[in-house]
Structure 1
Amino acid sequence: MSNLWNFISMVWYQLTFKPQPLPDDIRLEGQTAIVTGSNVGLGFEAAKELASHGLSRLILAVRDPAKGEAARAEIAQAAPECDVRVWSLDQESWASMVAFAARVRTELDRVDVALLNAGLKRLDFGRSPTGHEAHVQVNYLGTALLSLLLVEPLRRTARQTRKPGRMTITASSVAFWARVREVREPKGGKGILAWLDDPASFVPGDSHYCLSKLLDVFWTRALAARLDPADIIVNTLNPGYCRSSFHRVDSQAEAFGQYLAWSSAEGAYHVTDAAVRHPDSHGAYLSEQRVRPVSRFISSAQGKEVQQKLWDETIAVFREECPEANIKEFTSD
């Protein structure tokens, strides 16, 4: 019944809500933004919109530098005053993420906005080179590690400018469609992440994609609880159902999207809106360009227990598999 209601709600807002671009009076002169997964789809459109509002410097963090250069050329043509750079970032590689963060710290004098948008969608089980299930690695662990690695440069800028930095994680309303028993009661006595890495947990289709977005919502709330919003405002968002190459592996979603989906640019309006507006949205979930409640499970006492367990497991993974990340600030609890 819950998922039926979620589906009806999704259809309703897709049909009745009109996403709006950033108002013209929002200006970003002097600011630097990092956008992951920005060579195509929502990430590209969001990066292009930020650049159009006077952004001084834009880092396109992409897995494929050649595709990133094509995106850079298009954005630079539309916003020639913006310094657009393409930096390599592979969220299936711990070393790549650590190297990217080191480059941020040493080459950028400021970071005002970090838009963590990179992700993938598959319908069959796949394992990342790190050994983790692909959705768990890219959509969740990669995003989570990068969020920790970017705290210091965002905080440093915030204290220099006396204006909080913004970190925004792209999630989805499908987070509330996920099979919560997989995180509430992992089988075989395993932890949440170990169970989701097990092929036995995988149901063909988009189940692990949905679960990875649920993990993103939990992570955003856990991270926000550990950061001062005077330094960094962290939130997550639902960009809606959009037409983009992201769904190319899912013919059913692509067919359904012909009737309901927004354009990639309209989906990106949600992303940029969450990244630069809503100053009171710390730890919040945004949908339809406003703060919305999370599911009852996430906000319940049991959900909070899962959130803490997930945090502890995630930090343990980073300490074991990527000690060079040096995330000591977040290992005390």
Structure 2
Amino acid sequence: MYSKKLYSKEKLLIISFFVFITFVLIWISLISGNNGIAFEDTFKIFNQEETFSIIFQKIRVPRTLAAFFVGAALGLSGAMMQAVLKNPLASPFTLGISQASAFGASFAIIVLQAYSSTTSYEAGFITALFAFLTSMISTLLIISLGKKGNMSPESLILFGVALGAFFSAFTMLLQYFAEDTDAAATLFWTFGDLSKANNSSIFLISTVLILSLLFYFKIFWKFDALMLGEDSAKSLGINTSKLRFSSMIIASLLSAVSVCFFGIIGFIGLIAPHIVRLLIGNSHKFILPLSALSGGILLLLADIVSRTVLLPVIIPVGIITSMIGAPLFLYFLYVRRT
């Protein structure tokens, strides 16, 4: 009984630490600008100085919220994929779903000329729709091959890497034949950039994230059962095929809404769940929400680095996450082989 209480206190302490770090990084992000991290801007936030107020409300707040919600969406998406595929290397990036979303967005911009013939709202909707549709194609391919081909978790990851390369090749092909303006627009998808944050994109991503969390809170125990094996899960009355399909669809939606607005931001969905498992164990009651929180923390941190490491140059955040995530991905591969 005593050890159980102690274990609960440790988990509460870890959760409190995650929340504390989140608020600290949000604060640092809000006071980061062209001159780096300016702690004196903390006091300006509460003043009504007109110029700073415009910069704060129109640029810093949307970018900070976008970093948190996009990171949280990718973190939750990765946790779900790793759970239903029973593969710790699964994520929207490693399975090629992010690259498929980017291809769909590029197709809408270059081929359909979404931004030249419609309003910005309609263009954003069309782009998001095609990003989602292509991510669904990628997801359905992964699910069907995993089921019909009886592929191992490692083989699914290799298939995802190949699928991502396939979609990336077609994205580059579209860019090669595109007009300069369209090619430049799609190039930002491959970089991953948070500067395009606005109220509508933040609202959509946060809404999808919250609804996904509410859905998963109701069925988190099914993922714990699935970890024990297909037969054990089925003995508890769980339709594993339905669980895997619905979870992959929602995880892909989380990835698609992020990619369609901000481009490919790699490795957040891979790393965030691993950090949580390392600190708090394998219970999906904690893995799901904390993976979202961890993803938000990682992307907030990456965005702060991207804005301050080479002042006054702002590096696209996708470059930072890939530079950090790629070595960690290789490390996880090495650990699984040894």
> Shared fold by TM > 0.5?
no
- TM-score norm. by structure 1 comes to 0.27
- TM-score norm. by structure 2 comes to 0.26
* Higher relative contact order (CA closer than 8 Å, sequence separation 6+): 2
